[in-house]
Amino acid sequence: MLNRRGSGVLLHITSLPSAYGIGDLGPQAYRFADFLAGSGLSYWQVLPINSVDPGTGSPYNASSTFAGNTLLISPEFMCRDGLLSEGDLPVPNFPERRVEYLKVNSYKQKLFHRAYRRFKENKNQSEYEIFCKENSDWLEDFALFEVLKEHLEEGDWAKWPIEIRDRDPGVLQTLKDKLQDKAEMGKFLQYVFFKQWLELKGYCNKKGIEVVGDVPIYVDYRSADVWTNPEIFKLDGNKLPAVISGVPPDYFSSTGQRWGNPVYRWDVLKKSGYTWWVKRIGHNLKLFNLVRIDHFRGFVAYWEIPAGEETAVNGRWVGVDAVDFFDTLLRHFPSLPVIAEDLGVITPDVREVVARYNFPGMKLLIFAFGEDLPTNPYTPHNHVKNCIVYTGTHDNNTIRGWFKDEASADDRKRLFRYLGREVSEKDVHWEFVRLAMMSVANTVILPMQDILGLGGEARMNLPATTKGNWKWRLREKELTSNLSDKLLEMTRIYGRA
Protein backbone atom coordinates (compact mmCIF):
# COMPACT_ATOMS: atom_id res chain seq x y z
CA MET A 1 0.00 0.00 0.00
CA LEU A 2 3.02 2.33 0.44
CA ASN A 3 4.10 1.77 -3.16
CA ARG A 4 1.87 4.56 -4.44
CA ARG A 5 2.04 8.27 -3.68
CA GLY A 6 -0.14 9.23 -0.75
CA SER A 7 -0.29 11.46 2.29
CA GLY A 8 -1.95 11.56 5.67
CA VAL A 9 -2.15 13.08 9.12
CA LEU A 10 -0.69 12.19 12.51
CA LEU A 11 -3.35 12.85 15.15
CA HIS A 12 -3.81 10.73 18.26
CA ILE A 13 -7.35 9.77 19.27
CA THR A 14 -7.03 11.67 22.57
CA SER A 15 -6.53 14.88 20.56
CA LEU A 16 -9.91 14.75 18.84
CA PRO A 17 -12.65 17.17 19.92
CA SER A 18 -15.38 15.84 22.24
CA ALA A 19 -17.56 17.06 25.09
CA TYR A 20 -16.15 14.48 27.49
CA GLY A 21 -12.68 15.83 28.19
CA ILE A 22 -10.75 13.57 25.83
CA GLY A 23 -10.91 12.60 22.19
CA ASP A 24 -12.72 9.30 21.75
CA LEU A 25 -14.03 6.79 19.21
CA GLY A 26 -17.33 8.58 18.77
CA PRO A 27 -18.87 10.94 16.19
CA GLN A 28 -15.90 13.34 16.02
CA ALA A 29 -13.57 10.51 15.00
CA TYR A 30 -15.86 9.81 12.05
CA ARG A 31 -15.99 13.48 11.20
CA PHE A 32 -12.19 13.55 11.15
CA ALA A 33 -12.13 10.54 8.82
CA ASP A 34 -14.50 12.46 6.53
CA PHE A 35 -12.17 15.46 6.69
CA LEU A 36 -9.21 13.29 5.65
CA ALA A 37 -11.11 11.72 2.76
CA GLY A 38 -12.43 15.10 1.58
CA SER A 39 -8.87 16.48 1.64
CA GLY A 40 -7.54 13.75 -0.65
CA LEU A 41 -5.55 12.17 2.18
CA SER A 42 -4.93 8.44 2.48
CA TYR A 43 -3.56 7.78 5.99
CA TRP A 44 -4.49 8.42 9.60
CA GLN A 45 -1.61 7.72 11.96
CA VAL A 46 -2.23 7.41 15.70
CA LEU A 47 -0.05 6.80 18.75
CA PRO A 48 -0.38 3.54 20.73
CA ILE A 49 -4.00 2.92 21.77
CA ASN A 50 -3.16 0.63 24.70
CA SER A 51 -4.38 1.02 28.28
CA VAL A 52 -2.60 3.90 30.03
CA ASP A 53 -1.92 5.19 33.51
CA PRO A 54 -4.33 8.14 33.92
CA GLY A 55 -1.69 9.76 36.11
CA THR A 56 0.49 10.46 33.06
CA GLY A 57 -1.62 9.63 30.02
CA SER A 58 1.50 8.41 28.22
CA PRO A 59 0.60 5.95 25.44
CA TYR A 60 4.18 4.62 25.66
CA ASN A 61 3.78 3.39 29.25
CA ALA A 62 0.89 0.99 28.88
CA SER A 63 -0.28 -1.54 31.45
CA SER A 64 -0.75 -4.01 28.59
CA THR A 65 0.42 -4.23 24.99
CA PHE A 66 -2.81 -6.01 24.10
CA ALA A 67 -5.53 -4.21 26.08
CA GLY A 68 -7.09 -1.03 24.73
CA ASN A 69 -7.31 2.38 26.38
CA THR A 70 -10.86 2.44 27.74
CA LEU A 71 -10.71 6.23 28.22
CA LEU A 72 -11.17 6.34 24.43
CA ILE A 73 -14.60 4.68 24.64
CA SER A 74 -17.31 6.98 23.32
CA PRO A 75 -20.14 7.68 25.80
CA GLU A 76 -22.39 8.69 22.89
CA PHE A 77 -21.95 5.31 21.21
CA MET A 78 -22.59 3.57 24.52
CA CYS A 79 -25.94 5.38 24.46
CA ARG A 80 -26.46 4.32 20.84
CA ASP A 81 -25.89 0.70 21.84
CA GLY A 82 -28.28 0.86 24.78
CA LEU A 83 -25.60 0.69 27.47
CA LEU A 84 -26.36 4.20 28.72
CA SER A 85 -29.29 6.58 28.44
CA GLU A 86 -29.14 10.25 27.50
CA GLY A 87 -29.87 11.09 31.12
CA ASP A 88 -26.64 9.34 32.14
CA LEU A 89 -24.59 11.92 30.25
CA PRO A 90 -24.55 15.27 32.02
CA VAL A 91 -21.96 17.19 30.03
CA PRO A 92 -19.09 18.10 32.34
CA ASN A 93 -17.09 21.30 32.10
CA PHE A 94 -13.82 20.01 30.64
CA PRO A 95 -11.15 22.16 28.95
CA GLU A 96 -11.51 22.31 25.18
CA ARG A 97 -7.79 22.38 24.40
CA ARG A 98 -6.21 20.00 26.93
CA VAL A 99 -6.87 16.54 28.37
CA GLU A 100 -7.04 16.35 32.16
CA TYR A 101 -6.58 12.60 32.46
CA LEU A 102 -7.43 12.10 36.14
CA LYS A 103 -10.64 14.13 35.87
CA VAL A 104 -11.64 12.29 32.70
CA ASN A 105 -10.92 8.95 34.34
CA SER A 106 -13.05 9.80 37.38
CA TYR A 107 -15.96 10.92 35.17
CA LYS A 108 -15.85 7.97 32.80
CA GLN A 109 -15.49 5.33 35.51
CA LYS A 110 -18.91 6.37 36.81
CA LEU A 111 -20.37 5.94 33.33
CA PHE A 112 -18.65 2.58 32.92
CA HIS A 113 -20.16 1.21 36.15
CA ARG A 114 -23.64 2.25 34.99
CA ALA A 115 -23.08 0.70 31.56
CA TYR A 116 -21.83 -2.55 33.07
CA ARG A 117 -24.88 -2.85 35.33
CA ARG A 118 -27.13 -2.39 32.30
CA PHE A 119 -25.08 -4.84 30.25
CA LYS A 120 -25.51 -7.56 32.87
CA GLU A 121 -29.29 -7.26 32.47
CA ASN A 122 -28.99 -8.11 28.77
CA LYS A 123 -29.76 -11.78 28.15
CA ASN A 124 -28.07 -11.86 24.71
CA GLN A 125 -24.33 -11.67 25.30
CA SER A 126 -23.15 -13.88 22.45
CA GLU A 127 -20.93 -11.18 20.87
CA TYR A 128 -19.25 -10.56 24.20
CA GLU A 129 -18.69 -14.26 24.78
CA ILE A 130 -17.11 -14.65 21.34
CA PHE A 131 -14.82 -11.68 22.04
CA CYS A 132 -13.73 -13.19 25.38
CA LYS A 133 -13.00 -16.54 23.76
CA GLU A 134 -11.03 -15.07 20.86
CA ASN A 135 -8.90 -12.93 23.20
CA SER A 136 -8.64 -15.29 26.16
CA ASP A 137 -4.85 -15.68 25.93
CA TRP A 138 -4.36 -12.10 27.20
CA LEU A 139 -7.78 -10.90 28.37
CA GLU A 140 -8.17 -13.14 31.44
CA ASP A 141 -4.76 -12.26 32.86
CA PHE A 142 -5.14 -8.55 32.09
CA ALA A 143 -8.55 -8.31 33.76
CA LEU A 144 -7.25 -10.08 36.88
CA PHE A 145 -4.08 -7.94 36.85
CA GLU A 146 -6.07 -4.71 36.89
CA VAL A 147 -8.36 -5.73 39.76
CA LEU A 148 -5.43 -7.08 41.76
CA LYS A 149 -3.77 -3.66 41.67
CA GLU A 150 -6.90 -2.23 43.27
CA HIS A 151 -7.52 -5.17 45.62
CA LEU A 152 -3.94 -5.21 46.94
CA GLU A 153 -3.65 -1.40 46.85
CA GLU A 154 -0.32 -1.76 45.07
CA GLY A 155 0.37 -0.88 41.43
CA ASP A 156 3.79 -2.56 41.36
CA TRP A 157 3.22 -6.30 40.92
CA ALA A 158 6.76 -7.12 42.15
CA LYS A 159 5.62 -5.96 45.61
CA TRP A 160 2.64 -8.29 45.72
CA PRO A 161 2.69 -11.34 48.02
CA ILE A 162 5.15 -13.84 46.54
CA GLU A 163 2.52 -16.44 45.68
CA ILE A 164 0.61 -13.82 43.64
CA ARG A 165 3.75 -12.26 42.20
CA ASP A 166 4.91 -15.69 41.06
CA ARG A 167 1.44 -16.68 39.81
CA ASP A 168 0.70 -19.72 41.99
CA PRO A 169 -2.17 -21.42 40.06
CA GLY A 170 -4.23 -22.27 43.16
CA VAL A 171 -3.93 -18.81 44.64
CA LEU A 172 -4.80 -17.15 41.32
CA GLN A 173 -7.89 -19.32 40.93
CA THR A 174 -9.07 -18.37 44.42
CA LEU A 175 -8.59 -14.69 43.58
CA LYS A 176 -10.39 -15.07 40.25
CA ASP A 177 -13.39 -16.54 42.05
CA LYS A 178 -13.34 -13.81 44.69
CA LEU A 179 -12.90 -10.91 42.26
CA GLN A 180 -14.89 -12.33 39.37
CA ASP A 181 -17.43 -9.51 38.99
CA LYS A 182 -14.80 -6.76 38.94
CA ALA A 183 -12.71 -8.72 36.45
CA GLU A 184 -15.79 -9.25 34.27
CA MET A 185 -16.32 -5.51 34.17
CA GLY A 186 -12.77 -5.07 32.91
CA LYS A 187 -13.38 -7.65 30.19
CA PHE A 188 -16.65 -5.94 29.28
CA LEU A 189 -14.90 -2.58 28.83
CA GLN A 190 -12.30 -4.19 26.58
CA TYR A 191 -15.13 -5.64 24.51
CA VAL A 192 -16.72 -2.20 24.15
CA PHE A 193 -13.39 -0.58 23.28
CA PHE A 194 -12.48 -3.05 20.54
CA LYS A 195 -16.00 -3.02 19.11
CA GLN A 196 -15.86 0.76 18.77
CA TRP A 197 -12.29 0.71 17.45
CA LEU A 198 -12.95 -1.87 14.73
CA GLU A 199 -16.09 -0.01 13.65
CA LEU A 200 -14.02 3.17 13.23
CA LYS A 201 -11.25 1.34 11.35
CA GLY A 202 -13.84 -0.21 9.03
CA TYR A 203 -15.35 3.21 8.33
CA CYS A 204 -11.92 4.68 7.57
CA ASN A 205 -11.08 1.84 5.20
CA LYS A 206 -14.36 2.27 3.32
CA LYS A 207 -13.44 5.94 2.91
CA GLY A 208 -10.06 4.97 1.47
CA ILE A 209 -8.18 5.85 4.65
CA GLU A 210 -5.55 3.39 5.91
CA VAL A 211 -5.01 3.46 9.68
CA VAL A 212 -1.37 3.50 10.84
CA GLY A 213 -0.65 2.25 14.37
CA ASP A 214 2.39 2.48 16.62
CA VAL A 215 4.09 -0.46 18.34
CA PRO A 216 6.76 0.46 20.92
CA ILE A 217 9.58 -2.09 20.98
CA TYR A 218 9.58 -2.29 24.80
CA VAL A 219 6.86 -2.75 27.39
CA ASP A 220 6.40 -1.13 30.77
CA TYR A 221 7.81 -3.15 33.69
CA ARG A 222 4.63 -2.53 35.70
CA SER A 223 2.50 -4.17 33.02
CA ALA A 224 0.48 -7.34 32.75
CA ASP A 225 2.87 -8.45 30.01
CA VAL A 226 5.86 -8.76 32.35
CA TRP A 227 3.80 -10.28 35.19
CA THR A 228 2.40 -12.99 32.91
CA ASN A 229 5.57 -13.59 30.83
CA PRO A 230 8.54 -13.01 33.19
CA GLU A 231 10.60 -15.70 31.45
CA ILE A 232 11.06 -13.58 28.30
CA PHE A 233 12.56 -10.61 30.19
CA LYS A 234 15.92 -10.21 31.92
CA LEU A 235 14.74 -10.23 35.54
CA ASP A 236 16.55 -11.22 38.73
CA GLY A 237 15.47 -13.74 41.37
CA ASN A 238 13.01 -11.25 42.86
CA LYS A 239 11.42 -10.61 39.46
CA LEU A 240 12.99 -7.16 39.30
CA PRO A 241 14.78 -5.95 36.14
CA ALA A 242 18.43 -7.01 36.15
CA VAL A 243 19.16 -4.70 33.21
CA ILE A 244 17.07 -2.01 31.55
CA SER A 245 16.66 -0.26 28.22
CA GLY A 246 17.96 3.06 26.96
CA VAL A 247 20.35 4.62 24.47
CA PRO A 248 23.99 5.66 24.98
CA PRO A 249 25.35 9.21 25.25
CA ASP A 250 25.21 11.15 22.00
CA TYR A 251 25.21 14.67 20.60
CA PHE A 252 21.90 15.43 22.34
CA SER A 253 22.68 14.00 25.80
CA SER A 254 26.04 13.51 27.51
CA THR A 255 24.53 10.85 29.82
CA GLY A 256 22.36 9.09 27.23
CA GLN A 257 18.75 8.14 27.91
CA ARG A 258 17.79 5.72 30.68
CA TRP A 259 14.33 4.51 29.68
CA GLY A 260 13.99 1.87 32.39
CA ASN A 261 11.98 -0.77 30.50
CA PRO A 262 12.99 -4.40 31.01
CA VAL A 263 14.84 -5.85 28.01
CA TYR A 264 14.06 -9.12 26.30
CA ARG A 265 15.76 -12.48 26.64
CA TRP A 266 16.05 -12.96 22.91
CA ASP A 267 17.47 -16.46 23.36
CA VAL A 268 14.27 -17.54 25.14
CA LEU A 269 12.10 -15.80 22.56
CA LYS A 270 13.97 -17.52 19.75
CA LYS A 271 13.48 -21.00 21.28
CA SER A 272 9.74 -20.35 21.49
CA GLY A 273 9.54 -19.31 17.85
CA TYR A 274 8.98 -15.72 19.06
CA THR A 275 5.46 -16.74 20.10
CA TRP A 276 4.81 -13.65 22.21
CA TRP A 277 5.93 -11.29 19.42
CA VAL A 278 3.94 -13.20 16.79
CA LYS A 279 0.81 -12.78 18.94
CA ARG A 280 1.59 -9.11 19.50
CA ILE A 281 2.14 -8.30 15.83
CA GLY A 282 -0.92 -10.35 14.81
CA HIS A 283 -3.05 -8.49 17.33
CA ASN A 284 -1.89 -5.12 16.01
CA LEU A 285 -2.41 -6.07 12.37
CA LYS A 286 -6.07 -6.70 13.19
CA LEU A 287 -6.31 -3.18 14.57
CA PHE A 288 -4.27 -1.31 11.95
CA ASN A 289 -3.49 -1.46 8.26
CA LEU A 290 0.19 -0.64 8.93
CA VAL A 291 2.29 -0.36 12.06
CA ARG A 292 5.23 1.86 12.88
CA ILE A 293 7.76 0.01 15.06
CA ASP A 294 9.31 2.42 17.52
CA HIS A 295 13.11 2.17 18.12
CA PHE A 296 13.61 -0.27 15.25
CA ARG A 297 17.37 -0.40 15.80
CA GLY A 298 16.71 -2.37 19.01
CA PHE A 299 15.86 -5.41 16.88
CA VAL A 300 19.42 -5.43 15.57
CA ALA A 301 21.30 -4.40 18.72
CA TYR A 302 20.09 -2.74 21.90
CA TRP A 303 21.72 -0.71 24.67
CA GLU A 304 21.58 -2.64 27.95
CA ILE A 305 22.10 -0.75 31.24
CA PRO A 306 22.59 -2.34 34.69
CA ALA A 307 19.40 -1.59 36.63
CA GLY A 308 21.29 0.13 39.44
CA GLU A 309 22.82 2.78 37.18
CA GLU A 310 21.36 6.28 37.39
CA THR A 311 22.32 7.20 33.83
CA ALA A 312 22.75 5.36 30.53
CA VAL A 313 26.53 5.91 30.38
CA ASN A 314 27.65 2.51 31.68
CA GLY A 315 25.73 0.31 29.30
CA ARG A 316 26.70 -2.04 26.49
CA TRP A 317 25.46 -3.02 23.05
CA VAL A 318 23.91 -6.49 22.80
CA GLY A 319 23.22 -8.00 19.39
CA VAL A 320 19.97 -9.61 18.26
CA ASP A 321 19.43 -12.14 15.45
CA ALA A 322 17.23 -9.74 13.51
CA VAL A 323 17.16 -11.88 10.37
CA ASP A 324 15.81 -14.92 12.20
CA PHE A 325 13.23 -12.74 13.97
CA PHE A 326 11.88 -11.01 10.86
CA ASP A 327 12.03 -14.17 8.78
CA THR A 328 9.81 -15.77 11.43
CA LEU A 329 7.37 -12.87 11.35
CA LEU A 330 7.22 -13.03 7.56
CA ARG A 331 6.26 -16.70 7.70
CA HIS A 332 3.25 -15.69 9.76
CA PHE A 333 2.52 -12.37 8.01
CA PRO A 334 3.80 -12.49 4.41
CA SER A 335 3.12 -8.80 3.69
CA LEU A 336 4.30 -7.48 7.12
CA PRO A 337 3.27 -3.82 6.60
CA VAL A 338 5.87 -2.25 8.89
CA ILE A 339 7.35 1.25 9.06
CA ALA A 340 10.80 1.29 10.66
CA GLU A 341 11.42 4.15 13.09
CA ASP A 342 15.07 4.59 12.19
CA LEU A 343 15.74 8.06 13.59
CA GLY A 344 18.89 9.05 15.43
CA VAL A 345 22.35 7.50 15.02
CA ILE A 346 21.76 4.43 12.86
CA THR A 347 24.66 2.05 12.18
CA PRO A 348 25.29 0.15 8.91
CA ASP A 349 24.03 -3.16 10.37
CA VAL A 350 20.64 -1.57 11.09
CA ARG A 351 20.45 -0.07 7.60
CA GLU A 352 21.27 -3.48 6.18
CA VAL A 353 18.29 -5.07 7.95
CA VAL A 354 15.95 -2.24 6.89
CA ALA A 355 17.11 -2.65 3.28
CA ARG A 356 16.95 -6.47 3.38
CA TYR A 357 13.22 -6.39 4.16
CA ASN A 358 12.49 -3.21 2.19
CA PHE A 359 10.90 -1.55 5.22
CA PRO A 360 10.29 2.17 4.68
CA GLY A 361 12.18 4.39 7.12
CA MET A 362 11.40 7.89 8.37
CA LYS A 363 12.65 11.31 7.22
CA LEU A 364 11.97 14.39 9.37
CA LEU A 365 12.12 17.80 7.71
CA ILE A 366 12.60 19.50 11.07
CA PHE A 367 16.11 17.92 11.13
CA ALA A 368 17.02 18.92 7.55
CA PHE A 369 18.46 22.42 7.87
CA GLY A 370 21.65 22.04 9.88
CA GLU A 371 25.18 22.66 8.70
CA ASP A 372 25.20 19.42 6.70
CA LEU A 373 22.17 20.43 4.61
CA PRO A 374 23.53 19.37 1.17
CA THR A 375 24.18 15.78 2.32
CA ASN A 376 21.60 15.50 5.11
CA PRO A 377 19.35 12.46 4.45
CA TYR A 378 16.34 14.39 5.75
CA THR A 379 16.73 17.19 3.18
CA PRO A 380 14.12 16.78 0.40
CA HIS A 381 16.58 16.37 -2.48
CA ASN A 382 18.09 13.35 -0.68
CA HIS A 383 14.80 11.52 -0.10
CA VAL A 384 14.09 8.12 -1.62
CA LYS A 385 10.75 6.71 -2.76
CA ASN A 386 10.54 4.05 -0.08
CA CYS A 387 10.34 6.26 2.99
CA ILE A 388 7.83 8.21 5.06
CA VAL A 389 8.39 11.97 5.18
CA TYR A 390 7.20 13.83 8.26
CA THR A 391 7.51 17.51 9.06
CA GLY A 392 8.07 16.30 12.65
CA THR A 393 6.69 13.73 15.07
CA HIS A 394 4.98 13.70 18.47
CA ASP A 395 8.41 13.98 20.14
CA ASN A 396 9.41 17.19 18.31
CA ASN A 397 8.37 20.78 18.60
CA THR A 398 5.87 21.97 16.01
CA ILE A 399 7.39 23.55 12.91
CA ARG A 400 6.26 27.00 13.98
CA GLY A 401 7.57 26.36 17.52
CA TRP A 402 10.90 25.18 16.09
CA PHE A 403 11.20 28.20 13.81
CA LYS A 404 10.42 30.65 16.63
CA ASP A 405 12.20 29.09 19.61
CA GLU A 406 14.75 26.48 18.49
CA ALA A 407 16.08 27.26 15.02
CA SER A 408 19.28 29.30 15.05
CA ALA A 409 19.75 32.31 12.79
CA ASP A 410 21.92 30.11 10.57
CA ASP A 411 19.22 27.41 10.43
CA ARG A 412 16.74 30.01 9.20
CA LYS A 413 19.19 31.36 6.63
CA ARG A 414 19.76 27.85 5.27
CA LEU A 415 16.00 27.27 5.12
CA PHE A 416 15.47 30.55 3.24
CA ARG A 417 18.27 29.74 0.79
CA TYR A 418 16.75 26.30 0.21
CA LEU A 419 13.31 27.79 -0.42
CA GLY A 420 14.75 30.64 -2.51
CA ARG A 421 13.02 33.30 -0.40
CA GLU A 422 12.40 34.36 3.17
CA VAL A 423 9.22 33.28 4.94
CA SER A 424 7.53 34.49 8.12
CA GLU A 425 6.77 32.60 11.31
CA LYS A 426 3.06 32.51 10.50
CA ASP A 427 3.66 30.95 7.05
CA VAL A 428 6.61 28.63 7.67
CA HIS A 429 4.44 25.57 8.38
CA TRP A 430 2.91 25.66 4.90
CA GLU A 431 6.38 25.81 3.35
CA PHE A 432 7.27 22.63 5.23
CA VAL A 433 3.99 20.98 4.22
CA ARG A 434 4.71 21.85 0.61
CA LEU A 435 8.31 20.55 0.81
CA ALA A 436 6.97 17.27 2.19
CA MET A 437 4.22 16.97 -0.41
CA MET A 438 6.57 17.60 -3.35
CA SER A 439 9.12 15.05 -2.11
CA VAL A 440 9.88 12.01 -4.25
CA ALA A 441 8.93 9.90 -1.21
CA ASN A 442 5.83 7.80 -1.75
CA THR A 443 4.34 8.65 1.63
CA VAL A 444 3.95 11.86 3.64
CA ILE A 445 2.51 12.10 7.17
CA LEU A 446 1.83 15.54 8.65
CA PRO A 447 1.15 16.22 12.35
CA MET A 448 -2.17 18.05 12.62
CA GLN A 449 -0.47 20.81 14.63
CA ASP A 450 1.76 21.59 11.63
CA ILE A 451 -1.18 21.70 9.24
CA LEU A 452 -2.79 24.25 11.57
CA GLY A 453 0.46 26.21 12.05
CA LEU A 454 0.36 26.02 15.85
CA GLY A 455 3.27 27.00 18.09
CA GLY A 456 5.26 25.15 20.73
CA GLU A 457 2.32 25.18 23.15
CA ALA A 458 0.70 22.53 20.94
CA ARG A 459 3.52 19.99 20.93
CA MET A 460 2.45 16.56 22.09
CA ASN A 461 5.49 15.42 24.08
CA LEU A 462 8.75 16.77 25.43
CA PRO A 463 11.07 13.73 25.82
CA ALA A 464 12.69 13.16 29.22
CA THR A 465 9.85 15.00 30.99
CA THR A 466 6.88 13.44 32.75
CA LYS A 467 4.46 16.33 33.23
CA GLY A 468 2.30 18.27 30.80
CA ASN A 469 2.60 15.81 27.91
CA TRP A 470 -0.01 14.04 25.73
CA LYS A 471 -2.62 16.72 26.49
CA TRP A 472 -3.08 18.78 23.32
CA ARG A 473 -6.50 18.68 21.64
CA LEU A 474 -7.91 19.82 18.34
CA ARG A 475 -10.87 22.20 18.30
CA GLU A 476 -13.84 21.20 16.15
CA LYS A 477 -13.97 24.63 14.50
CA GLU A 478 -10.42 24.16 13.18
CA LEU A 479 -11.52 21.51 10.67
CA THR A 480 -12.72 24.05 8.11
CA SER A 481 -13.71 23.57 4.48
CA ASN A 482 -11.00 26.10 3.48
CA LEU A 483 -8.34 23.96 5.17
CA SER A 484 -9.67 20.83 3.48
CA ASP A 485 -9.69 22.55 0.09
CA LYS A 486 -6.09 23.72 0.52
CA LEU A 487 -4.93 20.19 1.38
CA LEU A 488 -6.92 18.72 -1.50
CA GLU A 489 -5.27 21.14 -3.92
CA MET A 490 -1.84 20.08 -2.66
CA THR A 491 -2.59 16.37 -2.83
CA ARG A 492 -3.70 16.81 -6.44
CA ILE A 493 -0.80 19.02 -7.52
CA TYR A 494 1.78 16.62 -6.09
CA GLY A 495 0.11 13.42 -7.22
CA ARG A 496 -1.01 12.24 -3.79
CA ALA A 497 -4.81 12.45 -4.09
CA 207, 389, 339: angle at the middle one, nearest 5? 70
Could you confirm whether 395 is annotated as catalytic?
A: yes
Instruction: Give the torsion sign (CA, 28, 32, 37, 43).
Output: negative
DSSP letters spanning 212-248: EEEEESS--TTSHHHHH-GGGB-B-TTS-BSEEEEE-
Alpha helix segments (H runs only) across 229-362:
266-271, 275-287, 322-332, 348-356
3 state DSSP class of 250: coil
User: What is the spatial distance between Cα 146 and Cα 208, in angstroms, rounded to a whole number?
Assistant: 37
Could you confirm whether 267 is annotated as catalytic?
A: no
User: What is the spatial distance between Cα 329 and Cα 323, in angstroms, rounded to a whole number?
Assistant: 10
81, 321, 395, 476: which one is catalytic? 395
76, 225, 294, 342: which one is catalytic? 294
DSSP letters spanning 450-483: HHHT--GGG-S--TT--SS-S-B---GGGS-HHH
User: What is the spatial distance between Cα 321 and Cα 270, in angstroms, rounded to a whole number?
Assistant: 9
- Cα-to-chain-centroid distance, residue 95: 23
381 and 375 in contact (C-beta within 8 Å)? no
Burial classification of residue 110, based on how many CB atoms lie within 10 Å of its CB (0-12 exposed, 13-18 middle, 19 or more buried): exposed
Instruction: Tell me how crowded residue 65 is: count the other CB atoms within 10 A of its CB.
Output: 23
76, 341, 342, 431: which one is catalytic? 341
Could you confirm whether 410 is annotated as catalytic?
A: no
User: What is the spatial distance between Cα 114 and Cα 88, in angstroms, rounded to a whole number?
Assistant: 8
HEC-encoded secondary structure of 400-458: HHHHHHHCCHHHHHHHHHHHCCCCCCCCHHHHHHHHHHHCCCCEEEEEHHHHHCCCHHH
- Residues annotated as catalytic are 294, 341, 395
